[in-house]
Amino acid sequence: MRRLDVASDPLKIQLLHLLAVLAAPEENWPTLHSIGALPKVLQVLTSGAAKSSPPLTNAVLECLSAFAKDESTWEPIGSTALSTLLPMVWAGDVVLQRAVVHLMAECSQNNSVKELVRDSAGLPTLVQLMASPDEVVLEQAVVCVSFLSDAKQLRASLGGVGIVGASARVLERLSLGRPLIKERALWTLANMLPEPAWQDEFVRCDGLRLLAAQLTSDHTVIQSYALKIVVLLVRSGHHRPAMQAAGFSDLLRLVAATGTTDTLRLGAQACLKYL
């Protein structure tokens, strides 16, 4: 570890690859912590050397991704790395984008890191990444946003950068598959849509049509999240006429009759009383 500071770039890269391998087994984590491995890796990142050397940047990211499997590293990685890595997203290729957004998604499960993402350029960056042509980048961005939306204090900031519209567009783009991404996008919307202004944005983004398609999904989890959003919209009452016009009464009768769980059937029956 003492050589990492002063080593040449090729040697740094070799040492970082070795650390990434060593960090993979959980039993090695205490030893790596005891020798201060993570601060040394972060020092390589913040020294500026990585910015001018894509291979070194990739080696640092590989190493940080390995360390991030340990929850105790999320805050130090998030507080030091994200502010450095986020500006690099648009300068690198899709491999770099995948690595950075994966690291963001991992570390954003930590409440302190969620605040840091908000206070950095993180939120607008995530909105842009949710429109990425690369589905791996898109998926990790959606997962990251879903973690952020769990924090009530972040929802105003998320709404302010257009997360509701971005999540709706994810459903549109992935209408033929990728159930995991749809689940996380619907989870984000369910967190955001108690706010009437964001319900309006969702409807403006053709959200009712997209929601109807998820309500009849073959995936029970997707159906459940979609029904949760329907409940929010029905209870608020503002968009009931539009929902009636969009055929939600017939869809809910179908779910009430054929739902695979009691929650789905009873939830659909309850919604029908309002439509």
Distance CA 116, CA 122 (A): 8
| Alpha helices by DSSP H, the chain | 9-23, 29-34, 37-46, 54-67, 74-85, 94-107, 111-119, 122-129, 135-149, 155-160, 163-173, 179-192, 196-204, 207-215, 220-236, 240-245, 248-258, 262-272
- Taking every pair of Cα atoms in the chain, the longest distance, rounded to a whole number of angstroms, is 70
Q: Are 240 and 273 in contact (CB under 8 A)?
A: no
Residue 6, pLDDT score: 65
Distance CA 42, CA 46 (A): 6
Residue 175, pLDDT score: 57
Whole-model pTM: value is 0.88
**Predicted confidence (pLDDT) per residue in 220-255, tens digit:** 999 999 999 999 999 888 888 899 888 999 999 999
Taking the CA atoms of residue 81, residue 82, residue 87 and residue 90 in that order, the dihedral angle to the nearest 10 degrees is: 100
Q: What tens-digit pLDDT sequence spans the chain (275 residues)?
A: 666 766 788 888 999 999 999 999 999 999 999 999 999 999 888 877 667 788 888 899 999 999 999 999 999 998 887 778 877 787 768 888 999 899 989 999 998 898 888 877 778 888 889 999 898 899 999 999 999 999 898 899 999 899 999 999 998 886 555 788 899 999 999 999 998 999 999 999 999 999 999 998 889 999 999 999 999 999 888 888 899 888 999 999 999 999 889 999 999 998 998 88
